[in-house]
Structure 1
């Protein structure tokens, strides 16, 4: 059975192309929910006008759907709460 932690580990392999920090440590992932073979990821971007948003969301979807046991990944883009640099992991 796939867990939220499994999804978060895979998401650490997704990067914002303009910032060399993965999206988890960057603080862009707000929530992950796994129900059976479906995963729902709630995330944001560093700016609402991010020109690379489609590429980032496709990368997230593809990486999560590559997990054995996940057939469908839904990525929900949210703007509340707004992202700030304070969300970057202290490990970075």
Structure 2
């Protein structure tokens, strides 16, 4: 295997671990994890295992606006090998229920 292939596999594995960690974070008012809710717009793993998350909240006035991003950062930092975590909040595009996974819609009674 080439060095590039090994780096790609390591990155995919770390990305999978990040995704799994994100599924452990819940909006305190909704019984579905933030990944299934569709709040995660981007997961990037950069060289030296720096992780970048671009996410949104269910609304700009979300009462958990400070706690959710902090919990996201903390859950990713627990992953062995992660160097640095940058969580960025955006409201573009605005969140809508269409962003939820089928599982989330089912759990919340939208299907």
**TM bucket normalised to smaller:** over 0.9
Quick one: distance in 1 between partners of 2:16 and 2:95? 22
- Which of 1 and 2 has greater Rg? 2
What is the CA-CA distance between 1:71 and the residue it aligns to? 2.2
Q: How does 1:1-92 map to 2 (within 5 A)?
A: 1-2=10-11, 3-35=14-46, 36-92=48-104
Runs of 5+ in structure 2 lacking a partner? 1-9, 105-111
Q: Going by fraction, where is helix more abundant, 1 or 2?
A: 2
Q: How big is the alpha-carbon RMSD for the aligned residues of Structure 1 and Structure 2?
A: 1.0
Deviations 1:9-68 (CA, angstroms, capped at 9, x unpaired): 110000000101000000000000011221000000000011211110110000000000
Detail structure 1 runs of 4+ shifted over 3 Å in the superposition: none
Relative contact order higher in (CA < 8 Å, ≥ 6 apart):
1
- The aligned length equals 92
Normalised TM-score (structure 1): 0.94
Following TM superposition, by how much is the alpha carbon of 1:72 offset from its aligned partner in structure 2, in angstroms? 1.2
